[in-house]
Amino acid sequence: MATDIRAKLSNLSISAQKVRLVVDTVRGKPVVDAINTLKFMTKSAAKPVEKLLVSAVSNAEENYGVSRDDLIVYTITADEAPTRKWRRFGARGRFKPVLRRSSHVNVVLRERE
């Protein structure tokens, strides 16, 4: 039975759509390769996702005694979090909505068989 090592990042102030572009590149990869990929990515969402992965790896090493070379990114998802809504006033007395979207990122690591 493979143990799942989980980590989550709540209320990241980048929209889920943008985070998914980064998350899709590392899904299913070995953890060491995934962290190296994220380190050299130019997207702004890459840094927090890399930080989350490093946290999950250190959880695995500290709590389960699993080597980082044996881990793979089993699942990683970016879901929508609550949206902050503001108003910006426009022409002719109308107002334009401003939506600040945020996201929740969940990662599950597993030992390679």
What confidence tens digit (pLDDT) does each residue in 42-54 have? Answer: 999 999 999 999 9
- Flag whether pLDDT at 68 surpasses 60: yes
The predicted model gives 13-24 an average pLDDT of: 97
Tell me the whole-structure pTM to 2 decimals.
Answer: 0.90
Number of domains in the chain: 1
Is residue 1 over pLDDT 60?
no
Whether 48 and 14 have beta carbons less than 8 Å apart is answered as: yes
Q: How confident is the model at residue 85 (pLDDT cuts 50, 70, 90)?
A: very high
Q: What is the CATH number of the domain that holds 100?
A: 3.90.470.10
**Residue 13 domain boundaries:** 5-111
Backbone dihedral region for residue 46 (phi beyond 0: left; psi -120 to 50: alpha; all else: beta): alpha
Beta strands 5-12 and 103-111, pairing class: antiparallel
